Homo-oligomer: A and B are copies of this chain.
Amino acid sequence: MLTESTEMYLITIYRLTLKAMYASTSDIAATLDVSLPSVSEKVRRLAEQGYVYHEWRQGISLTSQGREVALNVLRKHRLAATFLVQMAGYLLDEVYEEACRLEHVISDRLADRLEELLGYPRVDPYGYPIPGKDGTIAIHHYPTLARVAAGATVVVQRINDLDQARLRYISELGLVPNVRVEVLEVAPFEGPLILKIDDRTVAIAYAIACEIEVEEVTKEV
C-alpha cells in the first residue's frame, strides 16, 4: 500500500507539471512545506520505484504509473470535495483540508459509490474536472473574469487557487461555479470589476477576477 506521503508527492508533481513541463525540487518543497533534502530523498525513492523520472537539473515528471496513482488520488479528492459541499453543507473554503485527508483513505470501491451517490458529477465544487476511474481527465480552460469586457453576462466555471480567506470571501459573495454574473463595469489598469450577482451589485479586485474562470453566455434571442 502506498503511504500518504507518497500520494502527496505524486499529486503535487501532477499539479506542478500541468503548469510547466517539469516540477523542480524546490517547487515541491514549497508546495508541501517540507525541506529540500526531504524532497531530494523522497524523489530518489520515487524514481527507484518507477513513479517519476528525474532528469538531472531539468526537473521531475511522472511516469505513466505515477500519473495513474496521482489521478486516482485526485479523483478521490474531488469526489470527496463534491460530497462535502453537495451533501454535507460545507462552504468552499472549508473543503480543501478535509478532502486532503479523506483522499488517502477512500477505497476505489467507495470512490465509485460516492460518484454514483453524487450523480456522476463532471466537476468538483471549484469547477475542476473529476478524473474517471479509467484514469482519464478532461483538461479544459475558460477565460478568466479579468478578460471579459464590461456588459457581458457570464457563468462562473471554475475557481482557481485562492487562499482560504479569499475563498470564503467569494463563497459568501456567491461567486461560485454555475452562478450567472453580469459584468457591469471594468476599471482600467487592472482596477476593480463591478459585478451583478443575484441582483446584488459588488466590486471585486482584479487579482481575484484573474482566478475565476467563466464562460460567456450567448445572448438569448
A97 partner residues in chain B, CB cutoff 8 A? 107
Complex Cα gap A105–B104 (Å): 9
A81 partner residues in chain B, CB cutoff 8 A? none
Residue from the list B88, B104, B110 in contact with A114, Cβ < 8 A: B88
Q: Say yes or no: is A94 at the interface (Cβ < 8 Å to chain B).
A: yes
Chain B's nearest CB lies how many Å from the CB of A51? 22
Report yes or no: A107 in contact with B117, Cβ–Cβ below 8 A.
no
Interface of A is mostly: helix
Q: What's the interface size class on A, roughly?
A: 20 to 34
Residue from the list B89, B90, B107 in contact with A98, Cβ < 8 A: B107
Report yes or no: B84 in contact with A117, Cβ–Cβ below 8 A.
no
A98 partner residues in chain B, CB cutoff 8 A? 107, 109-110
**A107 to chain B: closest residue by CB:** B98
A109 partner residues in chain B, CB cutoff 8 A? 94, 98
**A113 to chain B: closest residue by CB:** B88
Q: Say yes or no: is A102 at the interface (Cβ < 8 Å to chain B).
A: yes
A110 partner residues in chain B, CB cutoff 8 A? 84, 88, 98
Q: Say yes or no: is A87 at the interface (Cβ < 8 Å to chain B).
A: yes
The proximity string for A residues 76-106 relative to B, scoring 1 for CB distances below 8 Å and 0 otherwise, is: 0000000010011110001001100110111
Complex Cα gap A97–B108 (Å): 13
**A89 to chain B: closest residue by CB:** B113
Complex Cα gap A48–B97 (Å): 30
A89 partner residues in chain B, CB cutoff 8 A? 113, 116
Residue from the list B88, B90, B94, B105 in contact with A102, Cβ < 8 A: B105
What are the nearest 4 A-B pairs in CB distance? A101-B105, A88-B113, A105-B105, A98-B107
**What are 21 A-B pairs with beta-carbon distances under 8 A?**
A84-B110, A87-B117, A88-B110, A88-B113, A88-B114, A88-B117, A89-B113, A89-B116, A90-B113, A94-B109, A97-B107, A98-B107, A98-B109, A98-B110, A101-B105, A101-B107, A102-B102, A102-B105, A102-B106, A104-B105, A105-B105
